[in-house]
């Protein structure tokens, strides 16, 4: 894999980190600007932070698997893979496994995102 092939993956990883940092800063500003008479539910905040860490890990895993799947797709189009039956079968099985794992991670990603939205809505409690 050349450096040019890694650029989109690196760019995506940097974008994910920047988005996570921006989201964290946004939450810190929002919590500092809470209206008087509201209290942060510490248990919800702790769970929210846990879900955010899971969310960030899922983003990184999805980026890694997407790159891996792209590499496997490229190997499946390579004529040398077709000339060796065992190499082709292995590449095809690896591709199917990567696609299945990616689908599973995307589903988990959506679930965690929904939990985060719900937790954010329940973060503050009026006195």
CATH architecture of 48-120: Orthogonal Bundle (1.10)
Dump pLDDT digits (tens) for 58-91: 999 999 999 999 999 999 899 998 789 999 999 9
Q: Mean pLDDT across the stretch 37-66? A: 90
* Cβ(19)–Cβ(69) below 8 Å: no
* HEC string for 97-126: HHHHHHHHHHHHHHHHHHHHHHHHHCCEEE
pTM: 0.66
- For the chain, domain boundaries: 48-120
Residue 117 has pLDDT above 70, yes or no: yes
């Amino acid at each position: 894999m050349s450096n040019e092939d890694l650029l989109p993956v690196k760019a995506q990883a940097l974008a994910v980190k920047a988005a996570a940092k921006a989201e964290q800063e946004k939450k810190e500003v929002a919590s500092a600007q809470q209206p008087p008479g509201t209290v942060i539910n510490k248990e919800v905040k702790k769970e929210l932070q846990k879900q955010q860490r899971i969310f960030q890990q899922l983003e990184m895993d999805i980026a890694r698997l997407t790159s891996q799947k792209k590499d496997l797709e490229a190997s499946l189009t390579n004529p040398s893979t077709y000339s060796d039956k065992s190499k082709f079968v292995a590449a095809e099985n690896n591709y199917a496994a990567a696609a299945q794992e990616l689908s599973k991670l995307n589903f988990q990603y959506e679930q965690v995102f929904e939990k985060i939205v719900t937790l954010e809505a329940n973060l503050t409690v009026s006195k």
